[in-house]
Amino acid sequence: MNLEEKIRLYFKEAEVYRSQSLLDEALDKYRMVEKLIQENRKIQNKKPLLERVAARIAEMEKRCKKENKPAKPPPVSDEAQSLMKEMFSFDDPQTKGSASLGGAIALAQFGQYDKAIEEFNRLLECSELRFEAAKHLLQCWISQRYSDYAISLFQKWKKTKFLPLDQLEALRNQLQGMLKKEGIERDLSDIEVKKTVEPDSEVEDEDILDINSIRFDLPQGPDKGRRVELEVGFQSGKFIKMIIPREEKSLIQSIKPGDLLKQIVFYSPVAIFSGTGFVSSKKEISSGPKRGDYSLEIKIISISS
């Protein structure tokens, strides 16, 4: 085989690998072609040839880089999520409702955390599944890098004796293990008598604009999904305070300290942005003209755009 033929053959090979997204293989071959062209003196008019090959190499390198990034599962449609849930729910005849548990675990394994969390929250109601659901729920939050929030949930369960004591103890061990895997060492003993855990905020006080009002959808309760808008009455950096009028019964009921609001829209005089907030307190106002209304405090945890 003469040199020209060899180059042509290798190039063709590389092109096929490229078309099949066999990126490493294509890259190897393009590099071989490049080397052959460079090293050989007989070839005339090398420049356009080399340019063409170099462009391909650059393209392959770019695609490889994208491919090798650690994969975060993309969100999928509601329909696909229900399908995943259905397909991977294996019934364990020993436990009632275990099929739904399996489905929710599958969703979490596929990285569909929001949907999985919704399912686990529902399963918490079922006492036989409560422990398993609670465990996976904590894991879902930790996997999304909301470890503090997971701890605050556990603290809430512990304070309210949401599970029998032996199960709470087992759950504490599990949680400790999950945190350790993420490189987090936390002492969780007697957490129920400690100050309420608040998730750390990713944002600096000075990065937060003045906020006039906020909007979010009710995360739970009888009016789940209802859109709510509240005016901000007081702001100190990432802490904002709002008044909820006493007539807003369903709003007052559905929001509790310790809740995480994952989609809040913040309105400032100069920009609109969205983010996550932690309900740090909700108190009934006991004196003054606003007596009977509620004061709600939210800590801004992160800002997305």
Of 21 and 253, nearer to another protein (C-beta) is 21
Of 20 and 40, nearer to another protein (C-beta) is 20
Least distance to another protein, CB of residue 269, Å: 40
Q: Locate all alpha helices (DSSP H) within the chain, ordered by sequence.
A: 3-19, 23-39, 46-68, 78-87, 98-109, 113-123, 130-143, 147-159, 165-181, 249-254
Tokens of 41: 């003196």
Between CA 192 and CA 101 the distance in angstroms is 28
Of 9 and 272, nearer to another protein (C-beta) is 9
Between CA 60 and CA 122 the distance in angstroms is 46
Of 20 and 212, nearer to another protein (C-beta) is 20
Of 99 and 260, nearer to another protein (C-beta) is 99
Least distance to another protein, CB of residue 15, Å: 10
Least distance to another protein, CB of residue 215, Å: 30
Classify residue 268 by burial, with Cβ atoms within 10 Å: 0-12, 13-18, 19+.
Answer: middle
Between CA 25 and CA 27 the distance in angstroms is 5
Buried/exposed 33-50: b ≥16 CB within 10 Å, e otherwise: bbebbeeeeeeeeeeebe
Interacting residues toward another protein by CB under 8 A:
9, 12-13, 16-17, 20-22, 25, 28, 67, 70-71, 73-74, 76, 80, 83-84, 87-88, 90, 106, 109-110
Tokens of 269: 């005089």
Least distance to another protein, CB of residue 68, Å: 8
Nearest alpha-carbon partner for 153 in 257, 27, 234:
257
Least distance to another protein, CB of residue 106, Å: 6
Least distance to another protein, CB of residue 28, Å: 8
Of 103 and 258, nearer to another protein (C-beta) is 103
Between CA 42 and CA 40 the distance in angstroms is 6
Of 11 and 278, nearer to another protein (C-beta) is 11
Nearest alpha-carbon partner for 301 in 255, 272, 266:
266
Least distance to another protein, CB of residue 241, Å: 41
Of 92 and 207, nearer to another protein (C-beta) is 92
Strand partners, 272: 267
Torsion of CA 101, 104, 108, 109, to 10 degrees: 70
Between CA 244 and CA 230 the distance in angstroms is 8
Contact 298, 280 (CB under 8 A): yes
Least distance to another protein, CB of residue 12, Å: 7
